[in-house]
Every structure is written in structure tokens, then in C-alpha cells.
Chain A
Amino acid sequence: MTDIYGPVTDWQDDFDHAVPEYNERAHEIWAEFQASGCPVAHSDRYGGLWAPFTHELVHEIAYDTDHFTSQGVVVNTGRPLIEAPVGPAPPITSDPPFHNIARRLLLPPFSPKVIAAWEPEVRRLCRDLLDRMGEITPGESVVDAAIQYAQSIPVNVIARMLGFPTEDEELFRGFVHDVLERINEPVEVRMEFMQRLDDYLTAQIEEHRENPRDDLTSYLLGVEIEGQKLSIEHVRGSIVLLLVAGIDTTWSAIGSSIWHLGTHPDDLRRLVDEPEVMLFALEEFLRAYAPVTMARLVKDDHDFHGCPMKANDWVLLPFPAANRDPAQFDRATDFIIDRQENRHGAFGLGIHRCLGSNLARLELKVAVEEFVARFPSFAVDGDVTWSVGQIRGPRRLPVRVDSVA
């Protein structure tokens, strides 16, 4: 891989979230920015990048669709080729008023009641993955909770929802890795792997045109806006969104939650002894370890609280940092498993609230429930590696199993 930028020595003026150190030390870095008088980082990398770290500033940008466009939401060396208001992956890359039209097409299949019906399927999948770990010797066996467990859950669910072959699991993870983690490679390289993703999806869409069935791909091919079927670009873009947004994100949330339990035995014991605490624990996992930082592009030159933002600069929206801002949350950096007041923004704030939030919550809840039900006692044991870029979560998570139920 060709990182065109290299290491960071100055987080304030040469910021880069794709340097491995960033996600490894994220909690420290955010706290430093929040305590400093200057909570906005800047960088000339990626053609201009800003990153505010307080809840107040993240909140302000998330609601400000006049100065910031969603046309691009993943910071990278290039710029999106399909313009606002549609953008390359509607509705996440869309701006008002088109955003609402595209979003309303996808809200019903992700509504709470429709998603709730997936619970038995997700639970069965989790139990299968645990079964496949084979013979476990308590106190000795080490499993990788990221690789053998978390990473396979969301990819299987979204592949089934889209009606894609689940045996292409590895391929999907590769696409998502390319899009979300290989952000600092030359534009030509990014164009090549985006093309591979497009080609794969075009073939899947063709196959669905020939054999329509009850899945989201056929649904997108059938729906209409004002009497018109969606363009192939819109269908493909929405599938890119569902695939890319639905895999690394939830994988990361599951992994971070298991990481927390594997490093905080009191919280693990509480969850095992009082499973009903999950109603609050789920939200505290999401607050304290929110995996997703979004991004925007600056529409026109804009003075943002003294920051001279230029048109087409990237702006990160680190909701995970906002969730740990002491100005917004009581005991912000503590994990309180039954936190009663929790207005976290793990799924974003404003009109772009994560479309898949109900599915993500279901997967996270069931995945953690099943893991602790099978392994009521475990501990992180070995080197953990973290993802790079806007999605933060463990990619290697060795866990020593100390008891099996």
C-alpha cells in the first residue's frame, strides 16, 4: 500500500486520522483537544482537512446543511465525482431537498418493527460462529473475537438483506476495507478499486433484474420517485451505502464492546448477572465506543469560528469524540453500564441519522448477549490491533476464554 502522506508529528496542524496511532490513542487525543483552547485540528493533507472535537462544534456542523455538503462523507485523496444534491451513494451523500426523497425510500425496510423480525436469524448466526470456534479449554483457549466472531455478523446479515451470495463475505470486507481504510492512496489507485466495486455491483444488479426476488436490491429496482424508476447510478450508489455502512461499523461496535468487557471484569460480571441491564449497557457501548466518524465537504469559503475553511475542504464529524466531551456528558470518559441520561450521537445527529441504526443495535445487542452467554468469563489476552480511518474498532482481538456456559 502507498500512503502518500506518512506519519504525523503535529496533531494540531498536520492532522491525519488514517495514521494507525490515531485510532490507537483516540481517547487521549480527543481529551487533549477538548481540554486545549483550540479544539479544531487542521491539515493540508487530503486537499485540506478540518476536525473539530467538541460536542458543540460537531453538533453545529451536523445541522448546518447550508455551509457543509454531504456529497462526500469519507475523507480521501480525491473528491466525489457525482455532484450534490444526489451524490455517489444516496441518501448519505445527498443534500436537501433530494436527501429526504431518497431517504424515505429506504426508511421503511429499516424501521424498528421490520428490523426486529431479523432477531432470530442474527441470534442463530452468532451461535453458529461460537459453535465453529471448536473445543474450548477454559483458562487456556484464546479466540479472536474480532476475526472469528464480530467481523462475520454484519456482513452476513447485509448480504442476505441485499440478496447477495454470502460466500462473497471476504470480497465484501475487501471492498469496504478499500473504501474506508485505503484513503491515503493515490487517486488513480482509488479509482481502480472503486471500479472493481462498481463492476461487482453492476453484475449483481443485472442478476436481480433477471431474477427479481424479495430482497433490498429488487426493492430498489422496483421503487419509484414521482413515477420514475431509480437510475442505475442511484440503485448502485444506495447499495454501496448499505454495503459499506453496514459492515465495518457494526463489526467495530461489536468488537469494541467485547474489548471493553474483556478489559473491565466488573462490567462483564454485571452483564452476566443482570442481563436486563443491557437496555442501558447497549447505549453506553455506543456512546463510549461509537465507531463512526462522518465527514462533510465545505460548500464555499467559510469562516467557522475563526477557522478559514476553503471550498472543497474536508471536515470530519467525530461523533465518537463528541460522545466523550465532558462539556456535554457527566463523567464523560467513564463507562457507566446503566447510565440513565444518554443523548449520545453514535448514529449521528440531524437529518442524516444512520439509516441502519435499528439493525446495528439489534446486531450489537444480540452479538454481545450471545458472546457473554457462551463465555461468561473472558479477558483480552494479547496484542489488539485497531482499524485506521473514520471507522474505529478492533481488527484483532485475542480473548482468553475463562469459562464456558
Chain B
Amino acid sequence: MRVTVDSEKCQGHNRCFALAPELFDVDDYGTAVVIGDGSVPAELEEKARLAVANCPEFAIGIEE
């Protein structure tokens, strides 16, 4: 599994970083970025899905 952030859609709600700081980081402007190449270890898959389910801008994607 990999997570992605659509930086055009991200408005800096910061939900992904709050729920899954192992997978997402935020820059000085509050815009989310994936950590590394976005690969999600098995034990973090649930957190990745939570991040998707809580992004108000639908900016986070999952590729399985």
C-alpha cells in the first residue's frame, strides 16, 4: 500500500498529520506531504485509511 497527497487539493487541514504522523508530514505552510515514497507498512494500513476518511478536501489517496 502507498499513500499520496494531491497538493492542489490540500488546504492544510492537518488531519492526516494528526492521525498518521508516521506517514505524513506538513511544511511551513501547513501543506501535507507523504514521508519517503509513501509506502505504508502493514501495521500502519489502518492509520492510512483513517487519514483518507478524515481529509475534508479528499486530497489523500491510497494505491494498493
Contacts and interface: CB of A to CB of B under 8 A. Distances in A.
Contacts of A343: 53-56, 58
A108 B56 contact: no
Interface in B19-64: 19, 26-30, 50, 53-58
A353 B10 CA distance: 10
Contact of A351 (B11, B29, B54): B11
A110 interface: yes
B11 A107 contact: no
Chain B interface extent, by class:
20 to 34
Contact of A353 (B12, B17, B27, B50): B12
Contact of A357 (B14, B17, B53): B14
A340 interface: yes
A345 B28 contact: no
Contacts of B14: 112, 357-358, 361
B9 to A, nearest CB: 10
What is the interface of chain A mostly: helix, strand, loop, or mixed? loop
A51 to B, nearest CB: 21
A283 B17 CA distance: 14
B18 interface: yes
Interface in A352-380: 353, 357-358, 361
Contacts of A345: 56
A195 B50 CA distance: 47
A104 B29 contact: yes
Nearest to A110: B30
Contacts of B55: 343
Contacts of A137: none
B13 A108 contact: no
Interface residues of A, number: 23
Contacts of A279: 18-19
A52 to B, nearest CB: 18
A107 B19 contact: no
B10 to A, nearest CB: 10
Given A279-B19, A353-B12, A357-B14, A107 B28 contact: yes
Contacts of A107: 12, 28-30
A231 interface: no
Contact of B53 (A104, A108, A342, A347): A342
Contacts of B27: 111
B11 A350 contact: yes
B13 A347 contact: yes
A25 interface: no
Nearest to B11: A353
A78 B39 CA distance: 53
A344 B30 contact: no
Contacts of B12: 107, 353, 357
A341 B12 CA distance: 18
A111 B30 contact: yes
Most buried by A among B12, B15, B50, B53: B12
Interface string A331-348: 000000000111111010
Contacts of A104: 29
Contact of B30 (A112, A349, A350, A351): A112
Given A111-B30, A112-B30, A113-B26, A340 B56 contact: no
A257 B30 CA distance: 26
Most buried by A among B13, B14, B19, B26: B13
B29 to A, nearest CB: 4
Contacts of A357: 12-14
Given A112-B18, A279-B19, A343-B54, 11 more contacts: A107-B12, A112-B14, A112-B17, A112-B26, A283-B15, A340-B53, A343-B56, A350-B57, A353-B11, A357-B12, A357-B14
7 contacts: A112-B14, A343-B58, A344-B56, A347-B56, A349-B57, A350-B11, A357-B14
Closest 5 CB pairs of A and B: A341-B53, A353-B11, A107-B29, A343-B56, A108-B28
Interface of B: 11-15, 17-19, 26-30, 50, 53-58
